[in-house]
Amino acid sequence: MPDATLPEPHAHPAPSLPDSDSFARTLGERGWIVIERFVEDAFVVRMREDLERAYVTCRRLQIANGIAPDTEGTLHHLIGQGDTFLEFIDRLAPVVPLFERHFGGKFVLNSFGGNILRRGASYASAVHRDVRTYSPQLPLLLNTLLMLDDFTRENGATRMLAGSHRSCPTKPDDVTFAAGAEAATGPSGSLLVFDSNLWHAAGVNTTGSARRSVTPMFCRPFVKPQFDYPRVLGQARMESLSETQRQILGYYARIPATLDEWYQPPERRMYRPGQG
């Protein structure tokens, strides 16, 4: 029996969203935008708990496979490691039209990571962008970051070089980046959205408290995701998922592995019509 103290999955106030034109204009010109308090406090608390549990699993494998020094505080591919991560896919429904406008059509989940930044810096504090193929005229990926703590300059809020997704095809030097970068600050529950061509870097946490986040990335359906999320959850699980979850998790953009999977009517194909 479900715990009666838990909030209903969809019982939360709608976030205050930018209109479609404003969102597209800001993302086009500056490359990033913060939607404040995208999810409510109760959901943030639950996701923090799931994140801490998932880190135990990820850290055990990082240590076992000899990559512990380079991965401290990082988590990857959280779908299936906690209820809130899958639930968050449904929480994206209000911004799906905005993201579809950015991509010019449907999109899927490329990766779903997380970060626990304790005092100091991490490998993500180096200036970088999260797409290796620079394609300013054809968006291939879109970054998001859900703030699970207040993001401040003091605790290492992500630094963004506005406009660099259009003007900097090559990595800017550290001096140039530092002179122009802005901190993406906001209260916990806020959603940072940015063009994956944008140069950015995690800040340095100078406080005594962790700065936590999850970092889902999205891509066009024909781009190869970093993880096979439908295989993680299983094909049978599809029937219990919402339409938003099916689309974003990639159930409609799979690769057939048998002739029987290939020879199907459009509504049952592994790669459905309309996926680009």
Residue boundaries of the structural domains of the chain: 20-268
Residues 6+ apart with CB under 8 A from 195: 27, 31, 32, 139, 142, 143, 165
- Secondary structure (3-state) at 56: helix
> Which CATH architecture describes the domain 20-268?
Sandwich (2.60)
Please give the backbone phi and psi of residue 197, each rounded to the nearest 5 degrees, phi first: -80, -5
- For 49, the token pair is 């708990």
Residues 6+ apart with CB under 8 A from 150: 185, 186, 187, 188
Q: What pLDDT is attached to residue 12?
A: 54
Residue with tokens 């605790």: 155
Please give the backbone phi and psi of residue 237, each rounded to the nearest 5 degrees, phi first: -70, -20
Cα 134 to chain center, whole Å? 19
Order of strands, sheet of 182-183, starting from the edge strand that comes earlier in the sequence: 182-183, 159-160, 200-201
Q: How far apart are CA 276 and CA 262, in angstroms?
A: 18
Tell me the pTM. 0.92
Positive or negative torsion for Cα 94, 99, 104, 106? negative
- Secondary structure (3-state) at 209: coil
Other beta carbons within 10 angstroms of residue 52's beta carbon come to 14
Q: What pLDDT is attached to residue 140?
A: 96
Q: What pLDDT is attached to residue 219?
A: 98
Positive or negative torsion for Cα 244, 248, 253, 255? negative
DSSP 8-state symbol, 64: H
Question: Residues of the chain whose pLDDT is less than 50?
Answer: 1-11
The size of the chain, in residues, is: 276
- For 95, the token pair is 């911004």
Amino acid identity at 151: F
- Is residue 155 within 8 A of residue 220, CB to CB? The reply is no
- For 77, the token pair is 């591919």
Task: Give the angle subtended at the CA of 121 by the CAs of 116 and 127, to the nearest 5°.
Answer: 105
- Is residue 156 within 8 A of residue 203, CB to CB? The reply is yes
Q: What pLDDT is attached to residue 5?
A: 40
Q: What pLDDT is attached to residue 177?
A: 96
DSSP 8-state symbol, 65: T
Amino acid identity at 268: R
